[in-house]
Structure 1
Amino acid sequence: MDSIIVKGGKELKGQIHIAGAKNAALTLMPATLLSEEPLTLTNAPRLSDIKTMTALLQSLGTEVTSMQDGKVIALSSHNLTTTKADYEIVRKMRASNLVLGPLLAREGNAIVSLPGGCAIGARPMDIHTSALELMGAEIELKDGYLHAVAPGGLKGNVVPLRFASVGATENILMAATLAKGTTVIENAAREPEIVDLAKCLKAMGAQIEGEGTSRIEIQGVDRLGAATHAVVTDRIELGTYMLAPVIAGGEVECLGGKMELVKSFVEKLDACGVDVTETANGLLVKNRNGRHTATDVITQPFPGFPTDLQAQMMAMLCTADGTSVLEETIFENRFMHAPELIRMGADIEVHGGSATVRGVDRLKGAPVMATDLRASVSLILAGLAAEGETRVNRVYHLDRGYEHVEQKLGAVGAMIERVQGE
């Protein structure tokens, strides 16, 4: 099993290109199931999760072609061979549940295994299934699979979500494009990835209004057509690399970065004494006056502070001047990186959904273990600020969401390498 070794103490300077969004691409790919005509995605990230979604779609009969070193993905679902999403593929990734809505909408039936993914707490499917049932689906859980049918086809309805679930919003949004009549999603999630999905669906011929707000209205159409769509910039990768020069010192320009994608995150960086400047090509980041200061963070649905940047922010706050409190309101079990940071000399106390971080002058390198995707990159960031060598084990988590981390950080001066497992 591969590991990544980081030697701290080197300031960073240069440019990092930010890839297309993992969470957007994993939502856009299942949209191919809605149409018999081709869908082409550009600016696609090159990640293991993309390979997993590719395998899942291919198992359903979708033709998938990767071009330009994986940055372009051509999909065609003109000849689906099954509507069963098998456990052996679905268990690897949470986003696999996003085939449920499209399959129901187009084929009138679907059998989808309950999904897997990072072990960061319960992310229940009942919000998806209850919404689809409001649209006329009949869904039963048997032997770990959701068996769903829509005998008369899906029908538009008012669908109120009990919380602003990103996945449920995406599933219902896709399903509603082919439903009969009008569907209104109330308390819809507002993330940029949902806006990006709506933009792609509109290019395919869908009729959607209100994306980016808490109320989305979809008028169903008979069929969707072909489209080419560029995947939106990955705001989580963007935020991650914006923290690198804050932790290590120096300055880095994140190419492709846009302030509107990370506004609440930038507000917290500003409170910590970090300058973020828009350039012609992205965002330039550097500490304002040497050591950054502490701040409090509460994770919230977009446009609030992203839960997917909480672990990385904690790594940065470990060496901040003062005491910070981080509250995790989205997922339980998302402080599993804290014990590993403590191994590196961090002063952290976790109490349920809250963590208190008292800044220390410097972290110390240590062997640590990644527990999930965002935790893995937080440990790499911490290694940039640590004396000596940090060895991050179990980095297969990392490869699900970050492409070529060691090359990107190495190009701006970090001392980082990947070593092959024995």
Structure 2
Amino acid sequence: MEKLIIKGGNKLEGNIAISGAKNAALPIVMASLIGEGRSFLDNIPRLRDIDNLVKILEALGAKVDYKGNSLDIDSDSVNLLEVPYKLARKMRASYYALGALLARYGQAATTLPGGCEIGSRPIDLHLKGFKALGAEVTIEHGLVEIKGENLKGAKIYLDYPSVGATLNIMMAAVKAEGKTIIENSAREPEIIDLANYLNVMGAKVKGAGTDIIRVEGVKKLKGTDYTIIPDRIEAGTYMMMAAITGSNLYIDKVLVEHVKPLIAKLKEMGVGVEEDIGGVRVIGNKNFKSVDVKTLPYPGFPTDMQAQFMALLTQAKGSSMVIETVFENRFGHADELKRMGADIKIDGRTAMVKYTPLSAASVKATDLRAGAALILAALVAEGETEIRDIYHIERGYEDIVNKLQGVGVDIKKVSE
């Protein structure tokens, strides 16, 4: 086991380059199974989740060459259509195998997936979409099996704009006969990125990024080269690190339109933000003010930035309110922040945050974004903070220790 040791009090200087988006890479890597032949995927982040996904592809029989930030995948050698239990339990994104394998081979199976414990995330909407396309779904002893040799296009209304369900149904529908319409679909940038990749492979997907996606089935898809978009959540995290420390930091390789909700909140707090084509500069100050925030599906404020934003609000002058509408159990970081002196009161899905100085403590990352929030708090805490269970952080932030050391943070990773 390893932990992070962070000494607070330093400002961040220079620039940080953003890696490829984890939440776009995961479904795109799995979608490579639909295309015949090889796909070469670039700007892939080096993360624990990607490592696990590569193991899944290899277990299914695909040939994978993972070098640097690129993946070369040959899907033609796939000979297993069930994700092994031990691999599926390690990551929630294993369920993307269902849509991809169903599209290519007409059947798929996986155990109910694992991942961060941030609340109930059932896959019922995924299964509803598969059934609408004509697939048979059975669930026994935690194993989900899907069979559908001759899928037909259908009109599918999602009761909630689920990102996972939208991605999975898109994949399943690309080779279904006729037209599929997904209504109330998620609009996240990662949806657009998958649609673009599928289209380059030969699919006919229109409307990605809106609440209605139309998919016209085609006979086959062919593997291709593709570059993943930058990670908006990583970008937002470093933007908030600059804000909480009152630093002047340039975040490079950012698609500014993807972080507009955060930029709006930072400006409302009195934090300076300058945008350009290649990235964004955050010009912090020590007297930023409190604001209220409510998480919503895109283009609202992202739930994946809520924990980090709560850490930022502990240093905002005044009282703030955080409302979490996406997941019912996403305040696990609050107790850890309170160990560092934060004044946070939780009532259901609402948190009240008041300004208070923070001091170093021994804390643990309860999930991926909670770990990032603790790093934010450690940057301004008096003393030396110890963060344990950092494997959560390494699921979503590539080379975070070296990136932060490069801009002046006193941080090191040590063995327990």
Band of TM-score, shorter chain: over 0.9
Q: Superposition pairs for residues 33-72 of structure 1, below 5 Å?
A: 33-67=33-67, 69=68, 71-72=69-70
Tell me, yes or no, if the aligned pair for 1:113 and 1:144 is still in contact at 8 Å.
Answer: yes
Partner of 1:7: 7
Asked if 1:215 corresponds to 2:212, the answer is yes
Quote the Cα distance in structure 2 between the aligned partners of 1:239 and 1:144: 36
Give the Cα–Cα distance (whole angstroms) in 2 for the partners of residues 147 and 290 of structure 1: 54
Distance 2:359 2:186 in 1: 40
CA distance in 2, matches of 1:193, 1:219: 20
Q: Which one of the candidate residues 109, 131, 134 is aligned to 1:133?
A: 131
Alignment of 1:211-360 (within 5 A): 211-287=208-284, 289-360=285-356
Q: Secondary structure at the match of 1:376?
A: helix
TM-score for both structures, normalised by structure 1: 0.97
**C-alpha contact 2:153 2:217 (8 A) present in aligned 1:** yes
1:396 aligns with 2:394: no
The Cα offsets for residues 347-393 of structure 1, whole Å up to 9 and x where unpaired, read as 00011111000011x21010001100000111011000100011001
> Is the Cα–Cα contact under 8 Å of residues 36 and 79 in structure 1 kept in the other structure?
no
Which residue of the partner structure matches residue 118 of structure 2? 120
Q: Is 12-21 or 28-37 further displaced after alignment?
A: 28-37
Aligned to 1:79: 77
Q: Which amino acid aligns with 1:260?
A: E
Moved over 4 A (4+): none
Whole-angstrom distance in 1 between the partners of 2:271 and 2:165: 35
Distance apart, 1:280 and its partner CA = 5.0
Structure 2 counterpart of 1:183: 180
Please point out which of 365, 376, 381 is paired with 2:376.
Answer: 381
Alpha-carbon contact 2:245-2:286 (below 8 Å) kept: no
Q: Distance in 1 between matches of 2:154 and 2:310?
A: 42
Which SS does the other structure have where 1:364 is aligned? Answer: coil
Instruction: Provide Cα deviations, 1:181-205, integer angstroms capped at 9, x if missing partner.
Output: 1000000000000000001111000
Deviations 1:9-60 (A, max 9, x none): 1111110010000000001001111122211111110000000000111111
Amino acid at match of 1:60: L
Picking from 186, 191, 204, the partner of 1:194 is 191
Contact map agreement 1:104 1:154 (CA 8 A) in 2: no
Secondary structure, aligned partner of 1:5: strand
Which amino acid is the alignment partner of residue 302 of structure 1? Y
In the aligned structure 2, how far is the partner of 1:391 from the partner of 1:247? Answer: 19
Q: Give the letter for the 1:39 counterpart.
A: S
SS at match of 1:329: coil
d(CA) in 2 for partners of 1:180 and 1:238?
40
**Corresponding pairs, count:** 416
Q: Percent identity?
A: 46
How far 1:276 moved relative to its partner?
1.3
Paired residues of 1:204 and 1:224 also in contact (CA < 8 A): yes
Match of residue 408 from structure 2: 413
Letter in 1 for 2:291: T
Question: Which residue number in structure 2 is paired with residue 29 of structure 1?
Answer: 29
User: 2: distance between equivalents of 1:280 and 1:410?
Assistant: 26
Amino acid across the alignment from 1:300? L
Give the letter for the 1:5 counterpart.
I
2:15 equivalent to 1:20: no
Instruction: For 2:406 and 2:128, locate their aligned partners in 1 and report how far apart those are by CA, in whole Å.
Output: 48
1:389-419 deviations in Å (ceiling 9; x for gaps): 1100110101100111111111111111111
Structure 1 Cα separation of the partners of residues 323 and 404 of structure 2: 29
Output the CA distance in 2 between the equivalents of 1:325 and 1:6. 28
Deviation at 1:258, TM superposition (A): 2.2
**What SS does the aligned partner of 1:112 have?**
strand
Partner of 1:205: 202
- 1:329 offset after TM fit, Å? 0.5
Q: Distance in 2 between matches of 1:367 and 1:25?
A: 33
Deviation at 1:226, TM superposition (A): 2.2
Instruction: Work out whether residues 35 and 77 of structure 1, in 8 Å CA contact, stay in contact via their aligned partners in 2.
Output: yes
Distance 2:2 2:310 in 1: 24
CA separation in 2, counterparts of 1:80 and 1:271? 51
TM-score by length of 2: 0.99
| Separation in 2, partners of 1:385, 1:177 | 49
Residues in 1 aligned to 2:189 and 2:275: alpha-carbon distance in whole angstroms: 19
Q: In structure 2, how many angstroms separate the alpha carbons of the residues matched to 1:295 and 1:303?
A: 19
Other-structure match for 1:100: 98
User: Aligned equivalents of 2:32 and 2:223: distance in 1?
Assistant: 9
Q: Which consecutive unaligned segments of at least 5 residues does structure 1 have?
A: none
Query: Per-residue deviation at 1:6?
Result: 0.7
One-letter amino acid matched to 1:342: K
Q: Provide Cα deviations, 1:211-269, integer angstroms capped at 9, x if missing partner.
A: 10000000000000121111001000000000111111221101101220111111111
Matches of 2:49 and 2:5, distance apart in 1: 23
Gaps of 5+ in 2: none
Q: How far is 1:279 from its partner?
A: 3.3
